[in-house]
């Protein structure tokens, strides 16, 4: 896995980095919270090991700032503080696991492997939204288990929308470029036409989301 270690204690950071590299992981190390966010955006690591006590931005602030945008990164928090409240807060902010310092490398490795197994159950070629499931490998879409017949363009538009879950907005122009691969500046009415087709076919799951596109849709089209 690609692992980003965020640890301001140089000895511990080095120790973790060495151990994980020997286990075959690709490792990057940063020593403060701002660096953590910058590297998460740049490297999109599969896993982040995040110390809570950090200079500039602490680990809790990093978790809060990561929010929904980095759902593809699993986060394992390291903390010297044992309070249950804090552990719960980390998990609520999106951490996948919390490990108390001091810990043994064996324990950390076991937790990492467990996160890796959990990740592999979510093959990213399968996209989900509500009852909807899109399998990129077989090129099929099912809604509550029954297959939905979509044209190639509808499939492609739906894929773009599902991949943008968690983003606040996307523009019609962006969708035009992704789905129709047309130069910018062309009319974008076709996006609305195809959103309407999808809404008709997927009304049960996406009707309100795609229709209002503001509340709980895969994303907002503007
Ligand atoms: Ca620290």
Q: For the segment 194-206, what is each residue's pLDDT rounded down to a tens digit?
A: 888 888 888 766 6
Go through 155-192 and write b for each residue having 16 or more CB atoms within 10 A of its CB, e for each that does not: bbbbbbbbbbeeeeebebebbbebbbeeeeeeebebbe
pLDDT at 42 > cutoff 70: yes
Question: 59: CA distance to ligand 1 center in Å?
Answer: 9
Question: 98: CA distance to ligand 1 center in Å?
Answer: 14
Question: 51: CA distance to ligand 1 center in Å?
Answer: 6
> Residue 211: what pLDDT?
40
Question: 101: CA distance to ligand 1 center in Å?
Answer: 10
The pTM is what? 0.57
pLDDT at 154 > cutoff 90: no
Question: 12: CA distance to ligand 1 center in Å?
Answer: 9
> Residue 96: what pLDDT?
83
Question: 52: CA distance to ligand 1 center in Å?
Answer: 6
Percent of the chain with pLDDT over 90: 32
Mean pLDDT of the 81-95 span: 82
Question: 31: CA distance to ligand 1 center in Å?
Answer: 9
Question: 9: CA distance to ligand 1 center in Å?
Answer: 6
pLDDT at 29 > cutoff 70: yes
Q: Is 215 or 74 the better-scoring residue by pLDDT?
A: 74
> Residue 203: what pLDDT?
79
């Amino acid at each position: 896995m690609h692992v980003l270690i965020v640890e301001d204690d140089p000895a511990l950071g080095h120790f973790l980095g060495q151990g994980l590299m020997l286990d075959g992981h690709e490792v990057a190390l940063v020593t403060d919270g701002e660096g953590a966010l910058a590297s998460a955006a740049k490297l999109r690591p599969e896993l982040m090991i995040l110390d809570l006590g950090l200079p500039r931005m602490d680990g809790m602030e990093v978790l809060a700032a990561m929010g929904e945008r980095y759902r593809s990164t699993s986060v394992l928090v390291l903390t010297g503080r044992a309070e249950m409240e804090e552990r719960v807060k980390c998990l609520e902010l999106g951490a996948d696991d919390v490990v108390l310092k001091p810990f043994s490398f064996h324990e950390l490795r076991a937790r990492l492997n467990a996160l890796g197994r959990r990740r592999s159950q979510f093959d990213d070629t399968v996209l989900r939204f509500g009852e909807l499931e899109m399998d990129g490998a077989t090129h099929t879409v099912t809604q509550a288990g029954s297959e939905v017949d979509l044209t190639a363009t509808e499939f492609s538009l739906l894929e773009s929308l599902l991949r943008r879950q968690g983003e606040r907005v996307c523009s019609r122009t962006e969708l035009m470029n992704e789905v129709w691969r047309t130069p910018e500046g062309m009319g974008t009415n076709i996006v609305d036409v195809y959103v309407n087709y999808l809404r008709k076919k997927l009304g049960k799951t996406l009707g309100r989301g795609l229709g209002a596109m503001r509340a709980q849709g895969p994303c907002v089209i503007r």
